[in-house]
Amino acid sequence: MVALDISHSRPRPLARTQEGGGGQPSVQGKARAATRRGPAGGPVVPQSVRGRFRRIKWTTLALALAVFGLLPFLRWDRGPGEPDQAFLFDLVKGRLYLLGVGLWPQELYYLTGALVLASLVLILLNAVAGRVWCGFLCPQTVWTDLFLAVERLVEGDRREQLKKRGAPLSVRRAAELGVKHAAWLAIAAWTGASAVFYFVDAPTALREMVSGQASVLIYSWVGIGAALTYMLAGFAREQVCTWMCPWPRLQGAIWDPEALTVNYRDYRGEPRGSAKKAVELRAAGEKAGDCVDCLQCVVVCPIGIDIRQGPNFACINCGLCVDACDTVMVKLDRPTGLIAYESWTNIERGRRGEAPRRRVLRPKTIGLAAAAVALAGGMGVVLSGRSMGGLTVQHERNPMAVRLSDGRTRNVYTLRIANKTGAERRYAVEAEGLPGLQLAMVGPAEVVVGPDATAEARVTLTAPAREEGAVRFVVRADEQSYSAQDVFVGATMPQ
């Protein structure tokens, strides 16, 4: 059994340490645990670290920020009368444009499918590598990393920051705080503006914002986005990942012991002790672990947890503790990997002295991957066969049918024709399904529908007496045709 803890706000006893004995922390251990967070219970102040996972995080940060900021300026030619922004949530027309696809409000089931697909991919990632999304690509992580980089550039690394936060305010310190918060606000303003660019024409909105000609509504939304970014990335930080985000709470239901999550190989690291003490113990024939209790894995953690205490749902699998531990192991000329991406199953196998066994491909991951591929393929097929128009029919209900003086029966219908293209269309209306059926338009012979619009037309159908049943309406414009079915009702009362 393994106990999975998410409450990292209070330090837990360090298991099997040399300092306190009996699993209880010493005074020194308590003091070290208390240094995980900033003064007065503020946000965690992580130390900078170098290594492969830190380089991966810098790369994903740069890519994520570039994609977020540049996508609204990507152009896509959709023809005359259509917006040329590749990604646009057009609130005026009520359209969602994604490259060559334009979705109407009644087609939001595509968006539902995309959300289901994203959920499947997220669960698949969790089954393979735990909260790896949270550690590398989540917007909260990306923007928090950016804000922390600015903070370190202005105030220094963790040790300098803690010293300054506990010292009296000076002119230099006030200047540093002013520069840091000014940079944070600039980044937050850029973030808010970039978010707004997805809802309006980006180049036009940018020019209007810079020249002061943008509407109050646009400036208001930029301010809201900037305020949220400033508060969440600058102050809330790890609290968002632990308490505000629902994803950690779901870990209890989907946690997989076979997933490659960040884990501490306690069978190799325990008992902990200094490098000198370990040499003495080994010389005496006693067991000594590789962990020197340097706490580097703790001080670099952006969440402020101690991964050596076991699996923790608050861990975002960013791998920074792996980089920190490997750096220490290299300096001590010891094997790296004391903290590594490893499955909990292999941790337990290591405790029993068994060889590790990786099972990335297993029924769960294969099933999730197959479901994601099937859903993505199905959505692709549906989108590829998606029509650029549509027809709906509403039967006149008062009265449903009228009997004419010559004995024939007449029904009245209202047709609504949708034109999802960027050009005007003229539709001819036909009807079929019953012998002797005659269609007459109430108004012009053709229905003119503007670009990206809908139009209504009233038609009458006349059929011989006692004829009733299903009828099909067809509208045609050039090579486009759409159809819809309804019912022709026989009259029971003479007119």
Sequential DSSP letters for 176-212: HHHHHHHHHHHHHHHHHHHHHTTTS-HHHHHHHHHHT
Tens digits of per-residue pLDDT, 202-230? 999 999 999 989 999 999 999 999 999 99
Task: Tell whether 294 and 409 lie within a shared domain.
Answer: no
Say how many C-beta atoms besides its own lie within 10 A of residue 284's C-beta: 8
Q: Model's pTM, two decimal places?
A: 0.80
Mean pLDDT in residue range 5-32? 41
Q: Where are the beta strands (DSSP E) in 272-323?
A: none
Q: What is the mean pLDDT of residues 253-267?
A: 90
- The answer on 411 and 320 residing in a single domain is no
> What's the confidence (pLDDT) of residue 31?
40
On whether residue 495 sits in a domain, the answer given is no
Q: Do 379 and 452 sit in the same domain of this protein?
A: no
Model confidence pLDDT, tens digit, residues 430-450: 888 888 888 998 888 888 888
Count of structural domains within the chain? 2
Report the CATH number that the domain containing residue 473 is assigned in CATH: 2.60.40.10
- Give the end of a domain, one of 331, 361, 386: 386
**Average confidence (pLDDT) over 129-157:** 94
Q: What is the mean pLDDT of the chain?
A: 86
Residue at which a domain ends, from 369, 386, 403: 386
pLDDT of residue 35: 46
* Residue range(s) defining the domain that contains residue 418: 389-488
* Length of the chain measured in residues: 495
pLDDT at 387: 78
Residue 296 and residue 433 share a domain: no
- With 60 as the cut, is the pLDDT of residue 11 above it? no
The answer on 255 and 192 residing in a single domain is yes
Domain endpoint, select from 353, 386, 419:
386
> Looking at residue 28, what is its pLDDT?
42
Same domain for 133 and 277?
Answer: yes
The answer to whether residue 354 sits within a structural domain is: yes
Query: Is 305 part of any domain?
Result: yes
**Which range (16-25, 49-58, 289-298, 402-411) has the least confidence?**
16-25
Amino acid code (one letter) for 489: V
Q: Do 106 and 9 share a structural domain?
A: yes
Q: Quick one: 310 and 435 in the same domain?
A: no
Q: What is the DSSP letter of 294?
A: -
pLDDT in tens, 164-176: 887 888 999 999 9
Structure tokens at 236: 């809330």
**What pLDDT, on a 0 to 100 scale, did the predictor assign at position 450?**
84
Clarify whether residues 323 and 177 are in a common domain.
yes
Specify the pLDDT at position 185. Answer: 97
Does 377 share its domain with 414? no
